[in-house]
Amino acid sequence: MLAKEHNSVTKYAVNILDKWKQEIIAPEVNNLINEYCTYPDSYFDVNNGGHKKASRYYFETDGIQFHYIPDTQIIDKYRYWNVNDGKLFAGGESENLNWKHAKNGFTYYLSRAVEFIKKNKLKDALAYTGCLLHMLQDSCFGLHSLEGPYGTDLFVLDRLFEYGDDISELPSNILVQEMPESAVICPEYVPLLLGNTIEEAVFMLYSRYVECCLKSRKISFKIVLNHYERKSNKDLYTEMFHGIVELSADVINTILHIAHDKKEHLSNVLLSELEPIDRPWGLGFYRFVTLLKNKALNYEKKLVPLKLIVKNSEMKFKKGMSFGSHSEFKFIYDLPENTYEKFTCYIGIQTEFLNEGNVRIKFINNGNIVFDEIFNKENPSSKVLINNPKKYFEIIGSSPENTRLKTVITLGNPQFIHLE
């Protein structure tokens, strides 16, 4: 993203904050908008003063600057399988480096920003804030949104489209163009509070960052297609701009909130809206759909409501998720501590698939097995209640003998209830 664009994203993010929050940062806000939010780029300015100024606020994990963080590795999750004892098992394991770097960087910058506001050192607080905003703005806008969460490399579109001899028609060149001035409009948005603690804010920010990046990635594809069809991209740029202004506003809002100990009752969080750090890709009957939010697929592969048999009658769920079951699957969420009182959901085999095999499902909370049941025609679903969910929260499925490929697992209303 161009420096000028970082400046205008940050300016609009500040504009949509509550007035009392704008007043707190007022003495340094121009520096935040014009300078601090470009520090991760200034770090490379070794010939002038930029490097020296920005170095104080530099952060890295494993030698990689918190700026363009590694992609989520997903290839191991769908490509490599093996057979042992007559059962299929996943061949590869890989750490989610995207989450590792995001968690470290988010924690570092949010903590520093809050700490320096508490010490009345607004300049440092906003310099740390600016670095975090910069990383999010780069990652979730245009060309770089092709990288990161489940990402590829930024040349992927160049390999997919024909652009002839005109190098300005190369998708990567289209996507680094300055966005049209007319697309820069302030969104109507009430910034979110991502958490009452740093840990909770880091966790919720990760889901927001992934959501925003994936949305911009889709928009980037459309911008290239539109450009080739000589259609206006103004509205698409506005949509992408709003996404990153809103995310930036959420971050500043949350920092100021935590720094001023303004605890707020946050609503319960749906598991299906959260970003797992490990999840399956491509399973059984769902094939490449991998996971559906708030819907399931029936035999004809049409979308239907989430449905489970609960106490002999069918129950439908507006919220939740479903996925096809293979010989094994695993979801892992890296939960903050001291945040949730309990987790509840209904889980079982989606009604249409009750005659199609069985599945064993375990929930593991912070290393302890807290739920372990086999689902089949006789036991189609269960209500789950897990107290004090924290740290690694895992949902693991496996085949008791042979899970047939047409089994579909549904989670109805899966939610984390906040501590009072």
Interface ranges with Zn ion (CB under 5 A) = 41, 138
Instruction: Find the shortest distance in angstroms from Cβ 135 to Zn ion.
Output: 8
Closer Cβ to Zn ion, 41 or 115, answer by number: 41
Q: Which is nearer to Zn ion, 40 or 397 (CB)?
A: 40
Spatial contact of 219 and 236, defined as CB atoms under 8 Å apart: yes
First and final C-alpha spacing in the chain: 41
Angle, in degrees to the nearest 10, between helices 234-259 and 3-15: 60
Tell me the closest approach of the beta carbon of residue 104 to Zn ion, in angstroms: 18
Closest approach of Zn ion to the CB of residue 40, in Å: 5
Shortest Å, Cβ 68 to Zn ion: 7
Judge residue 208's burial from the number of C-beta atoms within 10 Å of its C-beta, 0-12 exposed, 13-18 middle, 19 or more buried: buried
Whichever of 68 and 189 has its CB closer to Zn ion, that residue is 68
User: Minimum distance between the CB of residue 58 and Zn ion, rounded to whole angstroms?
Assistant: 13
The minimum distance between CB 56 and Zn ion, in angstroms, equals 17
For Zn ion, the closer CB: 108 or 317 = 108
Minimum CB distance to Zn ion smaller for 49 or for 400: 49
Nearer to Zn ion, 138 or 334 (CB): 138
Tokens of 262: 């303004």
